Amino acid sequence: MYRIVKKEPLNPTVTRMEIEAPYVAAKAEPGQFIILRVHEEGERIPLTVAGYDRQRGTVTIIFQIVGATTEQLNHLNEGDFLCDFVGPLGCKTKVEGLRKVCIVGGGVGCAIALPVAQKLHELGCSVTSVIGFRSKDLLILEKEFTEVSDRLFVMTDDGSYGRQGNVCVPLKEMLEGGESFDEVITIGPLIMMKFVVDTVRPTGIPCTVSMNPIMIDGTGMCGGCRLTLHRDGKRITEFACVNGPDFNGYEVDFDEAMSRGTMYRDFERHAYEETCNLFQKEAE
């Protein structure tokens, strides 16, 4: 059993939790993920490691309340326990040798981008961060990004905070102005990452994306997280759980990934509504 040490709402739909999991904390690195179950009959869901404290033996997760399991998870409080908390899984983000990097995060994807930015900063890398949200109400982690970024651009779709526009706006301005980076690392909604890759493509600067497709076992056996990559004129299948979650953005078939990501939308919505109704009845 894994104790919830701390719980903190970051905005109305996003929550940060610190979980007591010393064996996971001892090995976790930026870019890796865990798979948890809220209770013994619960589904397995992957969540990227948003931070870790090796001395305290804790791992931080940040999740958006979008489905039945994240709704159940959000109803737990400090002192409660999770049934399973398995990891670290996947490959860590490659940051060694990078001297100047642009991190582009969107929405809750910023929770995944932050530990990467923190690690790069720790290694002495110059970090430019671009983070984007639909509105000010959904803003998260600005303070944390400020602490590890040489430059920080905050974008909102509606202009309610920072600068109005999407994350590609300042990125395109920097690149068209002649600025270069060793790498651009982008993490967020698939459509956002697709456009970031298209923005960077003309420069040839390496562009890494973090993929989070449907996942079940996290060990490459179920095949649920498969991705199609276009490499050297060939279509190649790899798995986000063992080959990723980081991939060369120029190779990813984003259209197929987006199509696969909507396969269970109706089922997930139904499960979420059932869970919400159950909690409402219990409250009554």
- The domain locations on the chain are 2-89, 93-210
Banded pLDDT at 212 (limits 50, 70, 90): confident
**Per-residue pLDDT, 278:** 53
Is 2-89 a domain of CATH 2.60.40.10? no
Work out the average pLDDT over 241-256: 92
**Per-residue pLDDT, 269:** 58
Distance, in Å, from the CA atom of 226 to the CA atom of 279, rounded to the nearest integer, reads 34
Distance, in Å, from the CA atom of 110 to the CA atom of 133, rounded to the nearest integer, reads 10
**Per-residue pLDDT, 195:** 96
In terms of Cβ atoms closer than 10 Å to its own Cβ (0-12, 13-18, 19+), residue 158 is exposed
The average confidence (pLDDT) of the chain is 90
Work out the percent of the chain whose per-residue pLDDT is above 90. 75
**Per-residue pLDDT, 252:** 94
Distances (CA, A) of 99 to 95, 127, 133, 199, 274: 9, 8, 27, 21, 49
Distance, in Å, from the CA atom of 110 to the CA atom of 139, rounded to the nearest integer, reads 10
264 half-sphere exposure, CB direction, 13 A CA radius? 10
Q: How confident is the model over 24-35, as pLDDT tens digits?
A: 999 999 999 999
- The larger pLDDT score, comparing residue 247 to residue 258, is at 247
Instruction: Select the CATH number that applies to the domain covering 93-210 from these four: 3.40.710.10, 3.40.630.30, 3.40.50.80, 1.10.10.10.
Output: 3.40.50.80
Q: How confident is the model over 44-93, as pLDDT tens digits?
A: 889 999 999 999 999 999 999 888 889 999 999 999 999 999 989 999 99
Banded pLDDT at 272 (limits 50, 70, 90): very low
State the DSSP code for 11.
E
**Per-residue pLDDT, 265:** 59
Work out the average pLDDT over 127-136: 96
**Per-residue pLDDT, 274:** 54
Work out the average pLDDT over 97-109: 95
Q: Per-residue pLDDT for 187 more than 80?
A: yes
**Per-residue pLDDT, 222:** 81
Work out the average pLDDT over 205-212: 94
**Per-residue pLDDT, 270:** 47
